Chains A and B, each alone.
Chain A
């Protein structure tokens, strides 16, 4: 459990960090270190250089934008999010306290979670259901990427090597909406065997599922069938998805659980609506 040798640089500003990752020398960013460090200790990741952005205070904190949206700095930890206005979102209230353990929640960041794109991580499903966006900065400027377009596959995003996610933006909380996140946890890791985030308002539902496919996804089939009721809609939870199987849950069980948990997420969200 000793990583291969690597260089370490602590960035004192975002511009410095952007410069350090633009050299094409394979530098990786270190934020809370809850994913990259274990991978390095297992020698599954071997970056030549780590650029530590953990000290960049400007990337930390939750604020409300003028248009009512919420902006969450990429380095905001899970623990900080729990104690923030993000508690207005029912699904985040459900999901955040179940992520990792106290130590992980004190160190792990929203930006790290979204760019790590772990197929079984809780937060990407919540962000998909909320139709969140990320702000990605590079030396050349800034672009806004919907989370749905950012997540490209298992541990893969559409982020360029010279970009840093600085912020995650969420639509403002709606009084007429209800939302929930429910998950069947893999007992050893705490990751989701199946995790379902649902947001409902009016006659619409937005449902996103993690743990089941290659990467968290919007369950469009469920959303389209939502008018038929939660139970009927939930039958579409894995439509078009190649379902994972592992030693904890084979594809048949995961598929069945995706349906059960989708129904439960919709029911829980409905119960909270308006």
Chain B
């Protein structure tokens, strides 16, 4: 018997296997989980951005109907939440660490920090009882701007952080860069702000804690990208409960964008609350306004950039000084984002000989800041892509030509950034393994007829419109990361970043694949199935992909940083190889041949030269599961686990081009065209790649044009809901035009690079550059985002006033 292997699904745009349940309301999200005798938690949040807690009176709340328990910080026996990624620790850089407690004890540092929790029979009873808690507050002075927070006289948040400084970190060649800038023909300087964003997954966060008094074990369901890591951190750093006494389950996740990577205060609260209520499961689900205040924000940099070079367009130096706002206390890997994931990629796709970057991490009276889609790389891309435009404008050279002259040339790969940006503090290196930047740019510029831009600009002017074209020739760093690089103390988070996979083939021939990664909507159940169908030659319908539950699964680091296809997939391929190796050995036994003589063709294991002597993988699995004829020394069952550690990161790249028209009278910006040429290597499922790019581009354009978290000076979040925080709508976009180049990478066998964040990384800079290009005839050189009508109108008015 043979199995047909002519249909290979790897690389095919098949429909996502998980979508039917998601789009018909049959998904199982956190709030869909209903357990017997479940109680409900609500958290009282600080109305002040900075205040001392004089006292909390919970007596009235405790007497409210249905209330089981009221907790304050004093009732929580746990440690503060962990901060797992100090900035550059091994380089001797001091990190002044303050992290949140499950509930604040003495003071609060941002509006929305939790100070008490009510556990009641119903969600409504819990919320009602919150109103009966009396807190005696002593409001304190506030500061929300990272640069101002470091100035003399600013309100001080933490005793161990003078001038609100979390750390002073640097990377690159200071001396060389200073020299290059001092001696340069041209130096352009600009202050740029990368504004704070709110991640806005469709599903807010939530968790359910259940303490089983019979076994003294905890089960925690959480809307998390990292169930295994959360079990580890909650056990080892927060609760002291042994790791093997905690099971974590992530059900279906309705989007995350980074915001669900971290350890949050509500997790230990629901665990403790379940124990204190005698083992009733306790659910907490975040409201949307609560999400805006108590789940992490992204970005929020103030940067002074200096770019130096020659009049004929060669960039010789880049010096960057950034104030990174990290919020009132630190989130789990807050310091890692604006340092390792930002400073080390500032060179973009350019061969800049001298680069130096200093970053000051800063406490302010705002929600904590951590990884948001792209995490450091969009901020870096914005800096370098704005810098290239500024430099081009200064020397009067075409932007594309300046980029072309400075691209890392195709023969320079693998590329080691000469100022040491890719060298970890322990000397371990990553390289830009591959790239070919000009063809992608040429393709994009040809598609948008770049040469006709000035003529179109003139035509638009006759209609009262300012037309602008912006480009971003970005690179991205995916596949974080080789453990010895990211695990270097102070470089990464002092831990590994490999991935895991287990494959079992059951007696009936059905394949169960268990992954350490954790989908949040990306379609892993489809793409992993495509890979396993290809590797094992079994039909898609015979494969199930499991993940999300720490019980009985290999440890995995989860999904973020565009690492699932390039790291996770290869754990699965490695496990499949082990399965095939064992199947080959058993086929040899069944067919009375040498294992070396068995050739594998899909699911068919055949003796070379004897096409009739063949066993299918299913037949092998059946026989090996029964195992009555297993040869000496061979274990029963096809059940293999593999761990895969990548040797390098991957570096997708491309050119995005945005075209905007601005209404000169009102400042309204319309995105009229968007074209992206991306090189993400080989594609497992092109339709899913396109979907990732569509969403990523929309999010990045959102930052350029509409989105922004706005705090008042008193620390109130003024953009506190979707009524004031503008999330992009589909109708605001023209059809997105996608094209590609495919430059091979040999970092991994599939030749995939990653695509989860590329759209977001590229599109903010492309769109912002387009707006500024549109305004450039008026003399505008730079304008901070978001480019809302009022902001653009003011720039137009100022430019016109300035010229008059």
Contact = CB atoms under 8 A, between A and B. Distances in A.
Contact of A260 (B123, B287, B666, B710): B666
Contact of B794 (A5, A193, A253, A261): A253
Interface stretch (A51-59, A208-216, A243-251, A265-273): A243-251
A186 B723 CA distance: 9
Contact of A188 (B287, B722, B794): B722
Interface string B114-150: 0000000001100110000000000000000000000
Interface string A234-262: 00000000000001111001001100110
A2 B127 contact: yes
B710 A247 contact: yes
A2 B126 CA distance: 10
A144 interface: no
Contacts of B665: 260
B719 interface: yes
Given A184-B668, A260-B665, A189 B124 contact: no
Contact of B726 (A188, A253, A257): A188
Given A2-B124, A260-B666, A249 B790 contact: yes
B38 interface: no
Contact of A1 (B289, B668, B732, B789): B289
A187 B790 contact: no
Contacts of B289: 1, 42
A9 interface: no
A4 interface: yes
A256 B124 contact: no
B727 A188 contact: yes
A228 to B, nearest CB: 19
Contacts of B723: 188-189
B724 A248 contact: yes
Contacts of B16: none
B100 to A, nearest CB: 23
A24 B185 CA distance: 80
A88 to B, nearest CB: 26
A106 B724 CA distance: 23
Contacts of B727: 188
Contact of A187 (B710, B726, B793): B726
Given A2-B124, A257-B666, A189 B790 contact: no
Interface in A173-189: 184, 186-189
Contacts of A247: 710, 718-719, 724
Contacts of B510: none
A17 to B, nearest CB: 27
Interface in B715-765: 718-719, 722-727, 732
Given A184-B668, A188-B722, A188-B725, A248 B127 contact: no
A42 B726 CA distance: 19
Contacts of B212: none
A265 B287 CA distance: 40
Interface string B692-729: 00000000000000100010000000110011111100
A2 B727 CA distance: 23
Given A247-B719, A253-B794, A5 B124 contact: yes
A247 B791 CA distance: 11
B788 interface: yes
B311 interface: no
A20 to B, nearest CB: 24
Most chain-B CB neighbours within 10 Å: which of A184, A187, A188, A193? A187
Contacts of B123: 2
Contacts of A5: 124, 128
| Size bin of chain B's contact surface | 20 to 34
A4 B129 CA distance: 11
B405 interface: no
Nearest to B710: A247
A150 B8 CA distance: 69
Contacts of A257: 666, 789
B196 interface: no
Contacts of A260: 665-666
B801 to A, nearest CB: 13
B793 A4 contact: no
Contacts of B719: 188, 247
B461 interface: no
Interface string A1-20: 11011000000000000000
Interface in A1-45: 1-2, 4-5, 42
A187 B128 contact: no
Nearest to A101: B729
Contacts of A249: 789-790
Given A5-B128, A187-B706, A253-B794, A248 B725 contact: no
B789 A184 contact: yes
A184 B793 CA distance: 13
Nearest to B122: A2
A176 B61 CA distance: 66
Given A247-B710, A247-B724, A253-B794, A184 B128 contact: no
B128 A4 contact: yes
Contacts of A187: 706, 726, 732, 788
Nearest to B702: A187
Contacts of B732: 187
A248 B668 contact: no
A260 B790 CA distance: 13
Given A1-B289, A2-B124, A248 B790 contact: yes
A36 B612 CA distance: 75
Given A250-B790, A253-B790, A253-B794, A184 B726 contact: no
Interface string B660-700: 00000110100000000000000000000000000000000
A249 B790 CA distance: 6
Nearest to A38: B723
Contacts of B789: 184, 193, 249, 253, 257
Question: What are the 5 closest A-B residue pairs judged by CB atoms, nearest first?
Answer: A187-B726, A188-B726, A189-B723, A1-B287, A253-B790
23 contacts: A1-B288, A1-B289, A2-B127, A42-B289, A184-B666, A184-B789, A187-B732, A187-B788, A188-B722, A188-B723, A188-B724, A189-B722, A247-B710, A247-B724, A248-B724, A248-B790, A249-B789, A249-B790, A253-B789, A253-B790, A253-B793, A256-B793, A260-B665
Given A189-B723, A253-B789, A253-B794, 10 more contacts: A1-B289, A42-B289, A187-B732, A187-B788, A188-B723, A188-B725, A247-B719, A249-B789, A249-B790, A250-B790
